Structure 1
């Protein structure tokens, strides 16, 4: 690591820790409210908020400029709250604070767990997306969660350590290095949590809001390969630092189906799920990601090779 790069990384890390110390000095509810207030007033003024405006316009062109701006402001309110809540993430895992998370349709997951089978939870960057692995812990679902490696190594180490303590002990880095771990977990009939709403350059093409979106085939590929169910999950912010997590009926592989066609079917179903949830509460989704960058269409042969590797 170059000296200049290391200095900048340390500076970013120090800024993060200072911010978290500020929010950590408050109780969780006040921290969430303060984070939302700051986010909604500062965020929309930042230059990269224009990406969110462009994404909303592309995905939902029927909205007026005023409606789009309302979503941007709401997105920043939610993001500000989420950042502030990182200072209190251990609170959500405490038994005496379980009232903060209402789990809908949990019996479906409990039935699968009782049968001794594992599965895959998928969601997107909704509300506070760190809550889903906490729910898995509440329900006694052993396993791991997939994370995206942060560019800043100091921030990454801190994030991984926090998640190990609060959510899932097994942290799986996104990409090829983590595939063996995911396979091991599924073979042991355990559960995996992953967020699937961001662009994957070497993924497969699926539609999202009617637009071409390069999408990860990982959950579908693992489900088909190891015959496990996929549970779509939706996180909503009810009020402040309280949430509702809805677990939907599982999407399962079709017996006897062509594996590649089944992977593509499931991948599209998952994108359809994400789109429907985003439309319901667009202000709670992270619109800042460059989701629809043009990419070359993934060939069937390459997907077949990727599937065999798993």
Structure 2
């Protein structure tokens, strides 16, 4: 079985490298456009698109079937563009390509960098989500980015290597090792970027589109423990391989508040931010995640934890 998995992983990795070599032969703009055209033609026909359709209907039941389908097609075009842009990701960090990324609220970022207070940037899988660490570097913020280990080890190694070649951000894997890295960065007054829109079984239950959703609690927990700001950011595609990144007002811990309750509050505020941004540009969010399923054992564990907290 292990040999079979290794063979599949190698084939997946080979297919990825061939696709990237194809896009690398083009310029950035042509690669983005070609990836978008190909994905919008093929993507809506593959089976996983049914999960996207179900997620959209569940989150926004007021939409018509035609509106749902337009979102699915747009999602695939954005995803295809993002894949095409992976072959040229390092270009976004070059000074001569700065015109490709507009940063709204850059002054607040530079002020935080000068204050050396540290913080957590949170966003979701919007537009080209790989650009958040690039923006951190362009605005002079040192720190790292949290990533989820890819199921394919060959793809994971390639992704980490690519990100390390694009920015100086420390690559932080989810898990115990990553947690220790985050603590060190917080103690040094640095910044960590996180995408918090995926389901996390070991997170806390919050609401997203009014639905129960297991949500990462790390950003809120860090805010409460280290008294640092959680800074929401949204990435928008504003034409081809050009983007706008908007930095919003920070979310902070309340002095004297119960740590557990404040962690839940901040986590919900993050989800509210994500929902608002998704509603504004639903075609640029990745609807393919299994975002809302909550298993019975998770509900039991959460209920027990909350009951224990009330008794203390």
TM more than 0.5: yes
Whole-Å separation in 2 of the counterparts to 1:8 and 1:215: 31
Q: Find the counterpart in structure 1 of residue 57 from structure 2.
A: 57
Matched, 1:205 2:205: yes
Whole-Å separation in 2 of the counterparts to 1:169 and 1:59: 34
Q: Find the counterpart in structure 1 of residue 220 from structure 2.
A: 220
Q: Find the counterpart in structure 2 of residue 272 from structure 1.
A: 272
Matched, 1:299 2:274: no
Name the TM-score, length of structure 1 as normaliser.
0.96
* Gapped regions of structure 1 (runs ≥ 5): 306-310
For residues 266-304 of structure 1, the C-alpha deviation after alignment (integer angstroms, 9 at most, x for no partner) is 000000000000000000000000100123335377489
* Gapped regions of structure 2 (runs ≥ 5): none
**Does the CA-based 8 Å contact 2:133-2:169 persist in structure 1?**
no
Q: CA deviation at 1:2?
A: 2.6
Give 1:70-219 correspondences, 5 Å limit: 70-219=70-219
Whole-Å separation in 2 of the counterparts to 1:69 and 1:88: 30
Give 1:22-37 correspondences, 5 Å limit: 22-37=22-37
Q: CA deviation at 1:78?
A: 0.1
Q: CA deviation at 1:173?
A: 0.4
For residues 189-225 of structure 1, the C-alpha deviation after alignment (integer angstroms, 9 at most, x for no partner) is 0000000000011211100000000101010001111
Give the number of equivalent residue pairs. 305
Task: Compute the RMSD of aligned alpha carbons.
Answer: 1.5
Cα gap change, 1:236 to 1:46, in 2 (>3 Å): same
Whole-Å separation in 1 of the counterparts to 2:62 and 2:101: 34
Whole-Å separation in 2 of the counterparts to 1:208 and 1:216: 12
Give 1:280-295 correspondences, 5 Å limit: 280-295=280-295
